[in-house]
Amino acid sequence: MKVIFHPRYMDHRHPGTHPERPERLEAILVKLDSLSLVKNLIFPEEIEENVSNLVHTEGYLRALSTMTSDYLDGGDTFVSSETYEIAKMAVSGAILSVDEAMAKNKNVALLRPPGHHAGADYGGGFCYLNNIAIGARYADLDRVAIVDIDSHHGNGTSDIFYSDPGVLYISTHHHGIYPGTGVSVAVGENSGEGYNVNVPFSTGAGDSSMKLALEDIIDPILRQFSPQLILVSLGTDGHYADVMTGLSLSSQCYIDTGEKLASLADELCGGRISYMLEGGYHIPSLAEIIAGMVSDEPMNLEFTKNIDKNKKGEESVLDTTNALHRYWDL
Ligand SMILES: [Zn+2]
């Protein structure tokens, strides 16, 4: 699998100690290098055309481009004079990721800053421009599926496509944490009703719960939606070693989930799939998950505890089924 990266992604820094830091990507590159996988790296060109306005308002883009030292939210999302340029380079990476996926080249895009908390006219939660949403609009297809397995609800992506039946948004996340959205009954509105799917897991949900969500919700809805392209918001902050959220997924579960979505893409849309990095703050597990996804060989994993063997998230999956069964055969 190809890996999209650009050195500019390392230049984005928040002041002080911040979990969303360049060391995340550095560790992934070191891990890929140790497995002789850096040969898979490809680099985006900076896109001249303003593709960000496929999603974001002119007013928001203007504000972001002129900020020099400010915060978009309570102190979590810093904007320096460089932020806008680096965020645009992440968007360029998302565009390359979509181009590669359309050419049937599965790929992982190691984007920084991440994007799924950014809406049309707002940023926050370490996000400025919504990379995956811009990629979905840029693809210009009738049916794009975004599967968001970051442990936070992608409120920005959800808002952007909430009334759009052409972009199916499915999110699994830890219920009750930032940004506080993503309940199972939020199913979309107007012609987009039924095309917004939330699986808000309770604390502790892990491998067996994710497997259940894949089998009972994600697989059947993707089959019925019949996407022409699948984009994955890949966040690993639901890992048991990641203290940012309270889910208990293992590295193997993330790799298996990635493979399951890839095999669905093979079946449903000629293998057109890409994975775009969102969160993931426990650096060693993040690095081994990405390496495990990129590698063709099974690799030795360090973080393999299967903590949730008994479907702690079963009730959440049932709630989602109840909310969505009038739109999909579940
Ligand atoms: Zn997250």
pLDDT tens-digit map of 115-140? 999 999 999 999 999 999 999 999 99
Cα of 113 vs centre of ligand 1, distance in Å, is 12
Cα of 151 vs centre of ligand 1, distance in Å, is 5
pLDDT for 50 equals 87
Residues surrounding ion ligand 1 at CB below 5 Å: 150, 152, 235, 237, 279
97-108 burial, b for 16+ CB within 10 Å, e for fewer? Answer: bbbbbbeebbbb
Its sign, for the CA torsion 297, 302, 303, 305, is positive
- The pLDDT mean for the chain works out to 97
Cα of 150 vs centre of ligand 1, distance in Å, is 5
Helix (H, G, I), strand (E, B) or coil at 230: strand
Q: Is the pLDDT of residue 1 over 80?
A: yes
Cα–Cα dist 304/154, whole Å: 26
pLDDT digits (tens, 9 = 90+) for 38-75: 999 999 999 888 899 999 999 999 999 999 999 998 78
Instruction: Compare 270 and 298 and report the one with higher pLDDT.
Output: 270
pLDDT tier for residue 83 given thresholds of 50, 70 and 90? very high
pLDDT for 4 equals 98
The arithmetic mean of pLDDT across residues 311-321, rounded, is 98
Cα of 18 vs centre of ligand 1, distance in Å, is 14
- How many residues belong to the chain? 330
The arithmetic mean of pLDDT across residues 270-274, rounded, is 98
304 residue type, one letter = T
pLDDT for 109 equals 98
The structural domains of the chain, with segments of one domain joined by +, span 2-324
What kind of fold does domain 2-324 have according to CATH? Arginase; Chain A (3.40.800)
> Contact 147/218 with Cβ under 8 angstroms?
yes
Cα of 125 vs centre of ligand 1, distance in Å, is 8
Cα of 165 vs centre of ligand 1, distance in Å, is 25
pLDDT digits (tens, 9 = 90+) for 128-176: 999 999 999 999 999 999 999 999 999 999 999 999 999 999 999 999 9
pLDDT for 74 equals 76
The arithmetic mean of pLDDT across residues 183-208, rounded, is 98
pLDDT tier for residue 295 given thresholds of 50, 70 and 90? very high
Cα of 20 vs centre of ligand 1, distance in Å, is 10
Q: Is the pLDDT of residue 22 over 80?
A: yes
Cα of 154 vs centre of ligand 1, distance in Å, is 8
Residue whose C-alpha is closest to residue 195's, from 173, 215, 170: 170
* CA dihedral angle for residue 63, residue 67, residue 71, residue 76, rounded to 10 degrees: 100
Lowest pLDDT segment from 35-39, 73-77, 94-98, 323-327 = 73-77
Catalytic residue among 6, 117, 152, 173: 117
Active site residue 117: yes
pLDDT for 157 equals 98
pLDDT digits (tens, 9 = 90+) for 229-246: 999 999 999 999 999 999
